[in-house]
């Protein structure tokens, strides 16, 4: 064919059932610009196409071709392609290249090269640093090989690169900050390697990023705030690492996020309420972490949510009824500490017992394989206690404090009436005294449970015996409790209105 059709410019035989070797005579068709033999069953070595100096497109992917004479040898035909100065697309993925090694000569390929795809080719060894010379490269796909070593810092020179696929290799070391120099990067897939260290915060400077996957590595940092400012990010996969710390509230900045996978890490704390701001979110995976607190009611506002996996955490409280309004196709909260009634309307009508297993305090319909709820409204005992603590106990504690204050003032008034007439007149009408923290600590036996008079949502009240044998009530506010400051202001205003006679 190559000898008789010397003027042939394009040869497209893709998606057939052709077998055998690629005849080397094709290399005599020196006018060829396009050669597409992909999606066939060709075997044997890839010929040296160096004579096809006009070649612009070479597609050989999805065959059974070999590229090296023996394992750990350089893939020879790549060096021959350095003569093809107009080459723009080189795609050889899904071939068995005999565990060959990328030669340093790949850096001498055409500077017009836009696509270099060699995925799933059993390529071994290092990524040559010379690959940074391919200044026009827009897609670099070396995924699903056996590459080792570090990511060359020279990749930062590929400023036109839009897609970098290095996933499913054996690469290691840190993710180089030089990648952040690729301002046009759209997709960064580094999952399935052995990277360590932190997520480069400078990735947040690549505003064009739409898809990032660094899952299944050994990263051990927190989530950098700057990284969460990528408003064009559609998919973020960080599962199966050792990431820790809190999930920041700034996660709400990922306005375009569709898929968020933070599962199988060491994240702590609560699920941020700001997750409700992710209006485009469809897939949320937070399983196998150490998250605690309750499931935010606000998750019911994420109308597009399709899959929600919160399993294997330390979540407690109720399953929000607001989730019934979602069109969830998959839901898993198993292996937590949830309690109360399982919702059974809306999307929950399609879920099975597996979604709720290993939550001993849950109750509900028999099909969920949990006990029936003891009350009409399905409130658990702990839920009822929580309601009492929230609504009934604060007024009781407040009343107790008021009574104690009144008793204290009455006793103080009686003591003053019994005092001798020759008492210092300057002390009359001054019912208060300054008491040090040390005296309060001593008078309450270091705020011991023995002297505890009552405990409410906002603080605790202790009995104290001062140095002058005066018995008083001391309230200690819990400033971490929501509403504590407001309660303090209210009680201070009440006390400021009390006056005693002389």
Region of 308 on the Ramachandran plot (φ > 0 left; ψ -120 to 50 alpha; else beta): beta
Torsion of CA 15, 21, 25, 27, to 10 degrees: 60
Sequence-distant contacts of 267-271: CB under 8 A, at least 24 apart:
267/243, 267/291, 268/244, 268/292, 269/293, 270/246, 270/294, 270/296, 271/247, 271/295, 271/296, 271/299, 271/310, 271/315
Give domain status of residue 2, yes or no: no
Lowest model confidence (mean pLDDT) among 19-23, 99-103, 409-413? 409-413
Instruction: Return the residue matching tokens 């971490």.
Output: 480
pLDDT band at 501 (very low <50, low <70, confident <90, very high): very low
| Count of residues in the chain | 502
Domain count, the chain: 2
Rounded to whole angstroms, the Cα distance separating 4 from 198 reads 59
Q: Is residue 426 part of a domain?
A: no
**Average pLDDT for residues 101-113, to the nearest whole number?**
96
Instruction: Write out the H or E segment, with its range, that includes residue 195.
Output: strand 194-197
Q: Where does the pLDDT of residue 385 fall: very low under 50, low under 70, confident under 90, or very high at 90 and above?
A: low
CB-based contacts of 418, cutoff 8 Å, min separation 6: none
Boundary (domain end) residue, out of 269, 287, 310: 269
Residues forming beta bridges with residue 293, ordered by sequence position: 315
b/e per residue, 245-273, with b = 16+ CB within 10 A?
eebbebbbbbeebbbbbbbbbebeeebbe
Instruction: Give domain status of residue 393, yes or no.
Output: no
Which ranges of 429-476 does DSSP label H, i.e. alpha helix? 437-443
Is 167 part of a structural domain of the chain? yes
What is d(CA 264, CA 286) in angstroms, rounded to the nearest whole number? Answer: 8
Which of residues 269, 284, 300 is at a domain's end?
269
Which of the residue ranges 62-66, 375-379, 405-409 would you say has the lowest mean pLDDT? 375-379
**Residue 84 maps to a domain:** yes
Q: What pLDDT shows up at residue 19?
A: 96
Range of the domain at 471: 400-416+432-496
Q: 301-315: per-residue pLDDT in tens?
A: 999 999 999 999 999
Please report which confidence band the pLDDT of residue 426 belongs to, taking 50, 70 and 90 as the band edges. Answer: very low
- The verdict on residue 298 lying in a domain is no
Residue 399 is predicted with a pLDDT of 65
Question: Both 92 and 238 in a single domain?
Answer: yes
> What gap in Å lies between CA 159 and CA 177, rounded to an integer?
14
Helix (H) or strand (E) holding 386: helix 381-387
Tell me what the mean pLDDT of segment 269-295 comes to: 95
| Token couple for 368 | 């969920």
Token duo for residue 319: 């399953």
CATH code of the domain in which 82 resides:
3.80.10.10
Asked whether the predicted pLDDT for residue 151 surpasses 90, the reply is yes
CA–CA separation, 155 vs 179, rounded Å? Answer: 7
* Reduced 3-state DSSP string for 351-381: CCHHHCCCCCEEECCHHHCCCCCCCCCCCCH
pLDDT at residue 443 greater than cutoff 50: yes
Residue 258 lies in a domain: yes
Q: What is the CATH number of the domain that holds 461?
A: 3.30.200.20
Band of the pLDDT at 83, cuts 50, 70, 90? Answer: very high
Same domain, 45 and 194: yes
Sign of the alpha-carbon torsion through 388, 392, 396, 398: positive
Are residues 47 and 27 in contact, defined by beta-carbon separation less than 8 angstroms? Answer: yes
User: Which pLDDT score is estimated for 422?
Assistant: 42
Which tens digit of pLDDT belongs to each residue from 183-202?
A: 999 999 999 999 999 999 99
Last residue of a domain, one of 269, 284, 303: 269
Minimum mean pLDDT range among 270-284, 317-331, 388-402: 388-402
| Confidence category of residue 423, pLDDT binned at 50, 70, 90 | very low
Q: Is the pLDDT of residue 154 over 80?
A: yes
pLDDT tens, position by position, 455-500: 766 677 878 877 777 888 888 877 666 666 667 777 776 666 655 4
pLDDT at 226: 87
- 437: pLDDT confidence band, cut at 50, 70 and 90? confident
**Whole-number pLDDT of residue 421:** 42
Residue 376 lies in a domain: no
**Cα 59 to Cα 88: distance, rounded to the nearest angstrom:** 11
């Amino acid at each position: 064919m190559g000898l008789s059709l010397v003027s042939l410019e394009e040869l497209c035989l893709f998606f057939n059932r052709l077998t055998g070797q690629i005849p080397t005579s094709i290399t005599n068709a020196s006018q060829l610009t396009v050669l597409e033999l992909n999606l066939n069953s060709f075997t044997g070595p890839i010929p040296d196409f160096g004579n096809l100096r006009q070649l612009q497109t070479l597609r050989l992917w999805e065959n059974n071709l070999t590229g090296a004479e023996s394992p750990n040898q350089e893939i020879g035909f790549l060096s021959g392609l350095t003569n093809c100065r107009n080459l723009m697309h080189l795609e050889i993925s899904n071939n068995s290249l005999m565990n060959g090694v990328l030669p340093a000569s790949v850096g001498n390929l055409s500077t017009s090269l836009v696509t270099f795809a060699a995925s799933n080719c059993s390529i071994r060894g290092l990524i040559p640093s010379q690959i940074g010379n391919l200044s026009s490269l827009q897609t670099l796909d070396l995924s699903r090989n056996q590459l080792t070593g570090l990511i060359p810092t020279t990749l930062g020179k590929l400023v036109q690169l839009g897609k970098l696929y290095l996933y499913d290799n054996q690469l290691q070391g840190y993710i180089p900050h030089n990648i952040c120099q690729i301002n046009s990067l759209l997709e960064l897939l580094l999952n399935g390697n052995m990277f360590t260290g932190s997520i480069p915060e400078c990735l947040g400077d690549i505003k064009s990023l739409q898809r990032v996957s660094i899952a299944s590595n050994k990263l051990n940092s927190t989530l950098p705030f700057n990284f969460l400012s990528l408003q064009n990010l559609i998919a973020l996969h960080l599962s199966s690492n050792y990431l820790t710390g809190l999930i920041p509230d700034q996660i709400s900045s990922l306005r375009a996020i569709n898929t968020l996978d933070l599962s199988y890490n060491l994240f702590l704390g609560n699920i941020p309420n700001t997750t409700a701001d992710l209006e485009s979110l469809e897939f949320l995976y937070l399983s196998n972490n150490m998250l605690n607190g309750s499931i935010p009611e606000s998750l019911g506002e994420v109308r597009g949510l399709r899959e929600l996996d919160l399993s294997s955490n330390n979540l407690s409280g109720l399953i929000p009824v607001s989730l019934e309004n979602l069109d969830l196709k998959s839901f898993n909260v198993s292996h937590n500490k949830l309690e109360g009634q399982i919702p059974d309307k809306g999307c929950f009508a399609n879920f099975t017992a597996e979604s709720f297993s290993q939550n001993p305090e849950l109750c509900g319909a028999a099909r969920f394989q949990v006990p029936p709820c003891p009350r009409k409204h399905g409130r658990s005992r702990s839920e009822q206690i929580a309601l009492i603590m929230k609504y009934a106990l604060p007024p009781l504690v407040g009343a107790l404090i008021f009574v104690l204050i009144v008793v204290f003032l009455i006793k103080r008034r009686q003591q003053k009436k019994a005092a001798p007439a020759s008492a210092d007149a300057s002390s009359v009408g001054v019912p208060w005294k300054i008491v040090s923290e040390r005296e309060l600590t001593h008078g309450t036996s270091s705020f011991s449970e023995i002297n505890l008079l009552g405990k409410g949502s906002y603080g605790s009240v202790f009995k104290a015996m001062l140095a002058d044998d005066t018995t008083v009530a001391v309230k200690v506010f819990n400033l971490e409790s929501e509403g504590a400051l407001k309660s303090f202001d209210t009680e201070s205003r009440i006390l400021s209105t009390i006056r005693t006679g002389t």
